[in-house]
Homo-oligomer: A and B are copies of this chain.
């Protein structure tokens, strides 16, 4: 009669990361079809003071990795943030998916009332209950960075649609 913390986190994270990886496949194919260096897309931004595609992917991964780790109370792997190609960004997503699969479901369940402390700016932390952290921080952050990656690619002519965003192009 209710939603579990597991159901509202890891499966949603995995679906959106899979869709993001699919965007990168479409980006690669688009660059090949239009005969430009796909590397250009990796560094594209929507505004000079917004983050480029590669950072959007890195942060989307971190929203999932750190979100699941904090909720479950396990250590998140550290990534170097040195991905510089579409292939490396896809590998970052794959490593994040592997980590998500390693988090025991039992440690995510029943964490809605657990205190979660997370960084909220330089030298500042914030503490929310697990449910509020998931619904108001982790999920909105994930969707923000996946959608911004989509917008960067779409703005640059990669053919993406709502089906790619919601289900990675699977019908």
The residues in A between 129 and 149 inclusive whose CB is less than 8 angstroms from any CB of B are: 131, 134-137, 139-141, 143-144, 147-148
A134 to chain B, nearest CB (A): 8
Q: Which residues of B contact A1 (CB under 8 A)?
A: 109-110, 112-113
* Interface status of A3 (Cβ within 8 A of chain B): yes
Q: Which residue of B lies closest to A143 (CB)?
A: B143
Q: Which of B7, B15, B16, B46 contacts A151 (CB 8 A)?
A: B46
Say whether B7 contacts A5, CB under 8 Å: no
Q: Which residues of B contact A151 (CB under 8 A)?
A: 46, 147-148, 151
Say whether B165 contacts A46, CB under 8 Å: no
* Interface status of A157 (Cβ within 8 A of chain B): yes
With A140-B143, A166-B136 as known contacts, state yes or no: A154 contacts B3, CB within 8 Å: no
The residues in A between 1 and 60 inclusive whose CB is less than 8 angstroms from any CB of B are: 1-5, 7-8, 11-12, 15-16, 46-47, 50
Q: Which residues of B contact A105 (CB under 8 A)?
A: none
Say whether B12 contacts A112, CB under 8 Å: no
Q: Which residues of B contact A140 (CB under 8 A)?
A: 16, 143, 165-166
Q: Which residues of B contact A162 (CB under 8 A)?
A: 141, 144
Q: Which residues of B contact A136 (CB under 8 A)?
A: 12, 15, 166
What is the interface of chain A, defined by CB distance below 8 A to chain B?
1-5, 7-8, 11-12, 15-16, 46-47, 50, 109-110, 112-113, 131, 134-137, 139-141, 143-144, 147-148, 150-151, 154-155, 157, 162, 165-166
10 contacts between A and B (CB under 8 A): A1-B110, A3-B112, A12-B135, A50-B154, A137-B166, A139-B139, A140-B166, A141-B162, A141-B166, A143-B144
